Chains A and B, each alone.
Chain A
Amino acid sequence: MSRHRTEFAAFYEAAKDDCLRTVLASVGDAVAAEDLVAEAFARAWARWSQVRQHPAPRAWVISTALNANVSAWRRRRRELPLLGHDWPGWPGVADGSVDRDLMAALQCLPERQRQVVALRIFLDLNTARTADMLGIAPGTVSAHLARAMAVLRTEFAIQQQVES
């Protein structure tokens, strides 16, 4: 047990930030993302003997966090705020840790595109592994990534123009 504890603690330290960034890029809410990732890691620890043998434990954690987010969203969907009514901006990113415009651009992407971008960028998953994790075809991953990159490229170009 002690060996497992040490092993899990090392895994957590090494993977937690990348997992959080991936989930944050996908859900857009820093507080919710932290909760989701913490819960997913807790579930990983609860069944560590199995998760440690998973070919990609980080992907397992993220998949668990994103699925939990879907469940939470289903529970809360009747509580969605009305746009324009005291809209507080992207919750949890007001501390300046992530550029607001970039976060807004990410959140404008369809959910699947956001997930593809997050997995490819923060976990460095290749197309096949991303497709496997999301349960879609590799060609679909490439198409989602290309469309998402086009949107983000425009956003970056605007930012660069503004800065210059």
Chain B
Amino acid sequence: MNDQYLMTGVKDAFADVEMRTPAVRVMARGNVLRRRRRLSLAAGAAAVTSGAAVAVAMLAPAGHPASRRETASDAQHGAAPAPVSPAILAAWTVTETPNGTVKVTIREMRNLAGLQAKLRADGVHVVVTASLAWPAACREWRAGNYRMGNQVLRNANETGLPSPNGTEIFIRPSAIPSGAFLWLGISQTGKPNGVVGPPGPMGSGYLSASRACIDS
């Protein structure tokens, strides 16, 4: 029995199988899917226009069991997460990794205060600035007499340059010394600080955890 004969036999065995769903039902369902897709795209576009579409991963506070959760949040507290089209990237994302580090991806210099608040809310002692200078109210921890290893802060791109996805860094919150806050100074090359756009070089260090500094 050759293959062609066998394949014909199998094909013949299925000859009586016929699709019973009428075309009108399929098309009605298709219309629903199309409307849903358009609504989703429109909602995503509206969120981006208002500058409120920020995707964040909710981190468990230090000491809590790790659970990786990524949600899209909008500006309204308590609002249900809105679907974000894959084509629409958030300004920044914060993602917990299984090994206890936190991955921060910054694509645009937008809402860095929100990034700082998010990281602090999740137990990361951090000061984020939109420049290569830390706040005037801050003092460097131990007057600069320390050495920060890459176990605390590591650039995802080993060259230290921003990756095509933006600036990607890993922070290990548990390795930040007690009494210090990790400073992340994010700048833009050739553009005034604070202007929306891709980030450039980043400065880092430890700042003394004084109230004046943290609240500045």
Contacts and interface: CB of A to CB of B under 8 A. Distances in A.
B33 A121 contact: no
A98 B11 contact: no
B21 to A, nearest CB: 4
Contacts of B23: 8-9, 12-13
B130 to A, nearest CB: 41
Is chain A's binding surface mostly helix, strand, loop or mixed? helix
A122 B14 contact: yes
Interface stretch (B2-10, B46-54, B56-64, B112-120): B2-10
Contact of B26 (A17, A21, A41, A149): A41
Interface in B156-210: none
A141 interface: no
Interface stretch (A30-38, A67-75, A77-85, A126-134): A30-38
Identify which of A5, A19, A41 gathers the most chain B CB atoms within 10 Å of its CB: A41
Interface in B7-33: 7, 9-11, 13-14, 16-21, 23, 25-27, 29-31, 33
Contact of B1 (A19, A41, A42, A153): A153
Is chain B's binding surface mostly helix, strand, loop or mixed? helix
Contact of B17 (A38, A47, A48, A97): A97
A102 B6 CA distance: 12
A16 interface: yes
A41 B21 CA distance: 10
B16 A97 contact: yes
Identify which of B1, B14, B31 gathers the most chain A CB atoms within 10 Å of its CB: B14
B29 A38 contact: yes
Contacts of B34: 45-47
A25 interface: yes
B37 interface: yes
Interface of A: 5, 8-9, 12-13, 16-17, 19-21, 24-25, 30, 34, 37-39, 41-48, 97-99, 102, 106, 117, 120-122, 145, 149, 152-153, 156-157
Interface of B: 1, 3, 6-7, 9-11, 13-14, 16-21, 23, 25-27, 29-31, 33-34, 37
Given A41-B26, A42-B33, 15 more contacts: A8-B27, A13-B23, A17-B19, A21-B11, A25-B10, A25-B14, A34-B21, A37-B21, A38-B21, A42-B27, A45-B26, A97-B14, A149-B6, A149-B7, A153-B6
